[in-house]
Amino acid sequence: MKFAAVLGSPIKHSLSPTIHGAAYRKLGFDAVYEACEVDSQGLQAFLSSKLAQSDWIGFSLTMPLKEKICEIAQDLGISLDDQSIRISSANTLYRDGDSWKGTSTDVLGFSFLLQNLDIREATIIGAGGTARAAIEALGEDCAIKIVRRDDKRDDAIRRAFPNREISFSPWVDFDNAWSRTLVVVAVPIEATRDLVKTFRPPEILIDALYSPWLPPVSELQSQSGMKLFSGIDLLCAQALGQIRLMTSESFDENEIFSYLKSVALEVVTNR
């Protein structure tokens, strides 16, 4: 039996065990995927105890572990790809033979959702690992405005994307966040209380949140009739890369995405 898990704190709300388990059954892959409560301080010790065990095939990481793993990967013998190092965010660890590697399938998830869309301007609300994955997924000719609660990550973002057109705005400017074609919400649920006060539906919204369902900003976008990619859409889209890397199975991405989304929606609508 093989094992995989999503790590984070808090983690009890995570739908990852539901969708990964559904994917394994669909693909006929014999493995168990679980949720483990792990915070930043405990991540290194937890991984140290698991990486040497041959029955573990992969780990999904939630915030703030996406950034924390970039600080400790070398000490754990994990090889991060260049993209994850540059954006200081990795949400996926996977076994490759006798080695462990890390990457950001968040980037793949955003790219999957935005395929065939020509986005020339976007606002990203937030500046953490998920926000940086969104920047990476957007085309180089896309002008990006970042609205964030503090400026601690500004320099890191500038270094990660030295040739990109990126501007920064303080949190008090969130009322002007909605004017661009695409808006990505990548902040914790408590921060969205401010956002709903001035919400105006953009042409396209990606909301990384899915708990509680529907999150407030997603609900307002849905009511407007404008395009919404929900947190479930993003969760299922980024899971495609994780499933492929952890299982080495081949599958049709669109088919599995639709299947995982239907499974996840059934769970959240019945909670």
Q: Are residues 22 and 126 in the same domain?
A: no
Quick one: pLDDT at residue 150? Answer: 95
Same domain (yes/no): 125, 203: yes
Stronger pLDDT, 190 or 271, i.e. the higher one: 190
Same domain, 253 and 217: no
Residues 214 and 114 grouped into a single domain = yes
Which residues on neighbouring strands pair with residue 8, listed in sequence order?
37
User: What average pLDDT does this structure show over 100-104?
Assistant: 98
Phi, psi of 256 (to 5 degrees): -70, -40
Q: Which domain holds residue 94?
A: 2-103+233-269
In terms of pTM, does the model score above 0.85?
yes
End-to-end CA separation in angstroms for the chain: 30
Question: Checking phi first, is residue 236 left (phi over 0); if not, alpha (psi -120 to 50) or beta?
Answer: alpha
Rounded Cα gap, residues 96 and 172, in angstroms:
45
Return the bridge partners of 204, or none: 182, 227
Strand, helix or coil for residue 110: helix
| Residues 40 and 144 occupy one common structural domain | no
Same domain, 118 and 219: yes
Three-state SS letters, 56-107? EEEEEECCCHHHHHHHHHHHHCEEECHHHHHHCCCCEEEEECCEEEEECHHH
pLDDT tens string 233-243: 999 999 999 99
Q: Give the chain's mean pLDDT.
A: 96
Residues 6+ apart with CB under 8 A from 22: 259, 260, 263
Q: Do 70 and 140 fall into the same domain? A: no
Alpha carbon distances (Å) from 60 to 4, 203, 226, 251, 253: 8, 31, 31, 20, 19
SS3 152: coil
Give 157-202 pLDDT, tens digit per residue: 999 999 999 999 999 988 888 999 999 999 999 999 999 999 999 9
Q: Helix or strand or coil: residue 199?
A: coil
Q: Strand order of the sheet with strand 227-229?
A: 166-169, 143-147, 121-125, 182-185, 204-207, 227-229
Q: Cβ(231)–Cβ(217) under 8 Å? A: no
The domain total for the chain is 2
Q: Mark whether 93 and 121 lie in a shared domain.
A: no
Same domain, 36 and 133: no
Residue 49 per-residue DSSP state: H
Instruction: Write the pLDDT tens digit of every residue in 40-93.
Output: 999 999 999 999 999 999 999 998 899 999 999 999 999 999 999 999 999 999
Kindly state the average pLDDT of the residues 7-34. 97
pLDDT attached to residue 117: 95
List the catalytic residue out of 26, 66, 68, 261: 66
Q: CATH number of the domain that 207 lies in?
A: 3.40.50.720
- pLDDT over threshold 90, residue 207: yes
Contact residues for 253 (Cβ-Cβ < 8 A; gap 6+):
112, 240
26 noted as active-site residue? no
For residues 215 and 262, state if they share a domain. no
What pLDDT is attached to residue 44? 98
- CB count within 10 Å of CB 229 equals 22
Residues 6+ apart with CB under 8 A from 218: 205, 207, 209, 228, 230, 231
Write the pLDDT tens digit of every residue in 105-154.
999 999 999 999 999 999 999 999 999 999 999 989 999 999 999 999 99
Shared domain check, 11 and 88? yes
Question: DSSP states of 216-240 as a string?
Answer: HHHHHHHHHTSEEE-HHHHHHHHHH
CATH number (domain holding residue 58): 3.40.50.10860
